[in-house]
Structure 1
């Protein structure tokens, strides 16, 4: 077995370790079974549902606003021009001389999505120059999905503001031309259309037959025999079920995803891929059923070497004539896209990748064919300090079943763009490729361009949707900075996105404060002037001369006066990366007694990349685990030392070895984990108000969906894990919640805005009930704030 290790930055200590590793881990090869248990860290668990959510209805159902082409038009004339077959339209109010509020009703009660669709239909009527649903206003909310807080990549492209413009439409179809789908994933329910398996060779398909109506991902698609679940990850980024209280958020909340399986074991063929693209946009393909829901957007997170293909181009040209837009990943070889197909086809939107820090991702292809970049992740870094590598988090499959995986690649960047194109199409289905490409590139954030060729810069979803409709935001300017914590990489500089998600002009002044303020510089300037919906980035760098080795943190303030202010904690390490340190990689497996055994392992000396080979292994499934003794004490996995597992620390996957075959390409990254000495060893103040996890002590998390925020922590060992004044609740995902006295008596010992409820194992503080939070047979007594039996 052969592969390559990519070694991330070694720290004296990392910013945070979300789950402590077991004590007493040994570093000898014969005791590596303990390493496996330590490294098989699950992705973040679901946050508890504590009773209420601050997310309310997004629209007044049935109400739309229309702007007529003639100011002062009387109500009767407005109603004469705004009609919908099967619906009744009533005049409700005049908003301005041109804008009118109408109420639309049907035979059945309308839904939110139907209201958005009626507004879109109204915008295309004669003499109507604009229309939108009568949206409710709240403090700008994020999706309630419990893993959304780990999806840094959505904030980076301004998705929270974009969702206030469009959450998508079920009438828009996005085809994922990939390696199939895991249709049973709970975060894809209700989002999938009946797709197709377009693989003609059964040996590639892995399902025993050729083309059929089953696009299920059969797995085992990687050269080393493991499974990527690639298409499922891509589909989740585009359209995971969103704002449903669990899992991850997708870019588009409403579109339908059409899985088209063209890749299997060993990849796919030009013929199958072209046929899949054709079928996706409604072009007949002999021998398979017709596609009755052609896609308006096609995502192609695939590619290979070669010049542009005429077969691909003919399909693309016909697809464009049918109104489709093709979004293509640039590729992951760190090479020019000139010889990467289909990234080098005409009239496609080719997408490169950036990491959290804003630089072109280390693997991303580049060049003149790249139109723009989007978040693809950088798994060797943890720039936001959340304890997880900076991959893109989306739907996948793990040892325990359906789950969520961190992955990196331009394959992860492209679906961000495809999802935004779907949101644009929801607002205006008639948009064609040239209009979409212009909207994307003209609004991209130029600060993320690169000398090798990163196109127009970083995707700005909010501005692109506005641009496509010829609109600009109204109202006061509003500052948005998507990150609150940044760990500078080894080059000691990174970019922090800033944007104005309101109207007018916003001036951002940036300054560091505190004892180390003079160590922070802003190479591209500390001031930005942003027009309506405009985004930019401010480069932050650290000057370390004269500082002793260690980890340092400085607060950097982004001040836009009345438009808002944000503080970001910027951390950096002084001292050379610990290269030349001893490391070890081992292959581990579970024996018949379900005990971990070490198949074999090899030592290595750390460097930016390490090629390894392990020989003499018996045919079976193995887990690959590696660590570096960065502090030189003869033991692995101390705080701040690098460790890794294939596929990555958060998504371990086995590799199957076969007799007589060399398995190659088992590549993964090592990243530092740990808790910084003296950084924040406070007990978690369970139940306290918070804005970020930094307010919640060591190992604590902040649930911002709760009023005022709510600090909590996990308690896998029961209440013994909980600080005084709290107890462990829940079985499948136990968490510490604050306890209280005198249940059913109101606030009691709870903080303001919370009531003392009776619960098991102890009374606990949660917010008052609302009409949607009480169970069957009960109702919310608003006078007391408690659920009461009918």
Structure 2
């Protein structure tokens, strides 16, 4: 039965009035009274539930103490807690109405990474609660969340004992109208999809700085107008431009308080800390003010994004190549994340260029056989033997000082320099192979020679009278010029028809004039961007541009690394008369194209059947790029800046392999024994269809034991995991279970708590009010109440007339005579999601159901209304109750 949004009322019968009615009747025989019956049952408190010690309901048990850090209420882990806070004189009359209850403190043992989430029951615009996390005994503030929304969250940085403070925001003595229920949740990890509007104020960030981008509809015209608007907000611009993200300061001269005032913030950060005598250090004050500024900026219509300037650290995925830190162009295209998926292993990329320095240390193991197709000895420089099977670059001597460009070496290094070899630089696709094809000499290269090279790469007949043992998957052409020809177009079409993906540089003339081969049909044309993702000043543009990639701009050093912002890759230097291997920064669409070729190699390694047509479709769908410039395709960036992670995730499978790769999976992915569980099950299974063998399971703690329960010969099946608390100290304990196999290993985090004596191990969903409801009118017929007895509540209705009834139960922490408010527990027989009528024609027993603090995220305002989605699946129930 679906309950309508109606009010359920309890009829209060006053004995004195009954006496008056009895004396008013006349004579005659009265009909016998209708028989009545009793209805009894049990409410079970949901596991892991706890009630705040000092709610506003005067009938609920009350424990003094959780109003200060020293007397914090101990909690189990995990826990879902229902609580209530109010400013003096606010909310419904009750236990805390007059004096107010501004703070609740809770003591809990947490593991690293555990998140504490606060859901505010009332409208956050009127009822402002904040959340703080302290170290044991409140010695240090570890994390805080002073927000304006319905959700606040903090995360424990390491394992240990902590104190949580939930606080009413007060500005001095003005605590506003706050009177609100709340739900506090401590779990194994953050709740996905719930924390999107929170700020990780406990993470490292730069105090006094915010990163802001104005909304497109509010873009200031020019830098002067932008600065004027920024100053009006009490901020100062440190870097950036109005068309993109800007780094803003809260103002060194005026200070953070002045900036907050200009932003209209009427919330002084840290007030809940100050009222407990905590002195705020200048650094902490600056952090609090910075978070408050970001929240205020996010609420303004002219601001598209506002964020903290978080501090980032290098992660383990970072290659160990010593010059990798100068390759700013790789993080720009989201490459490190893509390396977690693909390295481009065994994909062949033909680099049609000046040849490659085959002896360069960063090409050790990276090359397959290539060819030299320069047919004019005069153009071949020091290699005057015509076309041959040696694609080594002897040097083109085209530099003004007589040195050589070694252009092909630079291009090849971007595609696939050996990565994680503790030498030089990293390549985009370090697992790929380079097929070096020499076509450019002292005077460039002829279209005929280039045609022979790409035919060779595709395994087609060519002037070398040979073909490679394995054709190239991708061809990179960092070359070009004016003039189009039918014969060239035919060759490029033929090569593409062989399934080879062709990538070419758009040209460096800052012109919309088509350059070839980039402008031929079937060729991916690549323009260049600088370190700011803006079109590089030299890059060609126009209707033939398909995609953009980093090309660099050596005229600037915006990242302050001491070098012009060009693309760093492999190189050679023959200025001394002998070739010395090295690295250098270069710029151009020639540098942009191999980024795209390398990313396509990552895709090809994921899906060996990837075709040129599929790449075209994915580009047009925006599946491979970060959109820059005008929405969709434009003449500067094509479909946008290549995004390596998106690309590898988008690589389609054109057919289903006979076997999907074996992968060992664990369910659940983590285990939490809380305060009283001693045994849990763990299932290991094969997530693929290929064979998986050699499963072995180990654990990391003496108090943890894993035994096979129902396991097959390969070690797949169900395991029983048990814990022994006997010799452990009070607090939270963590360990890991590691399962290895022929395919992979998985690690299952385990958390367990040895509770201190003060922790009540019985679940508690607060003092329960039970209502018997007429399903036709939704009026309350009778009420009962019950207190917690070892995690259960026994109730009885007596004098119940025959009929059908609904039964609901819940707490009333705010004492507003309505049970099942947000932040209060609620239940119904047999389930809350589907209440069923109880037929009473005699005494009824065994009406047993669960009451829990289960809350609807939609009701917290984090999700929009949707068709068929009720924000209040069970209505509030009005109580006019009498003890």
Q: Do both share a fold (TM > 0.5)?
A: no
| Band of TM-score, shorter chain | 0.3 to 0.5
TM-score (norm 1): 0.41
TM-score (norm 2): 0.37
